Structure 1
């Protein structure tokens, strides 16, 4: 039963990523067709994408320390999305990914929230 629940949740997450990537207009998505993140890259992170993410999903954090932690997680996730989408364009992956409301969570946090 837990395996079935995991598979269902994983498929739902993939669908969310795919829908988010395909439904968002090019001006509001952080990951462009060319695989580059929109805006300034500072310290390996995508500043405009981070600010757009916080605005779009109304993200507010309890402290500066928590916001910096979430930003680091977000940046790692965006780097993975850019890498994955580059592979998608090279036909090495069967779907594209995009930024959604879960982009500031680690995989373990997401699993604990939605699979338990």
Structure 2
């Protein structure tokens, strides 16, 4: 399965890339919202792991700008854990929401659960 990880923190990107590849997935990385939208336009992904706080666009703008017909499942992974943020992300189409810091086991279980539905 193809997964796009969108986060500006190397301390998140590098371990996630390693773990997801080890689990047998093809992984692409985006460090900005604009880079994520470009990658989504160029190819299709089964899942996107999305941070809400990015240097250029926030994750809500990315959710709103997802290309029609090529929309991946979305797991929001962010330090913004307020109920209002969760509600907004889910209303914009995210299938799951996890707050940082997170457990690796829980994250991988969420990824596999969402990919089963893809």
| Structure with max Cα Rg | 1
Higher strand share: 2
Normalising by structure 2, we get a TM-score of: 0.28
Higher relative contact order (CA closer than 8 Å, sequence separation 6+): 1
Higher helix fraction: Structure 1 or Structure 2?
A: 1
TM-score computed with the length of structure 1 as normaliser = 0.29
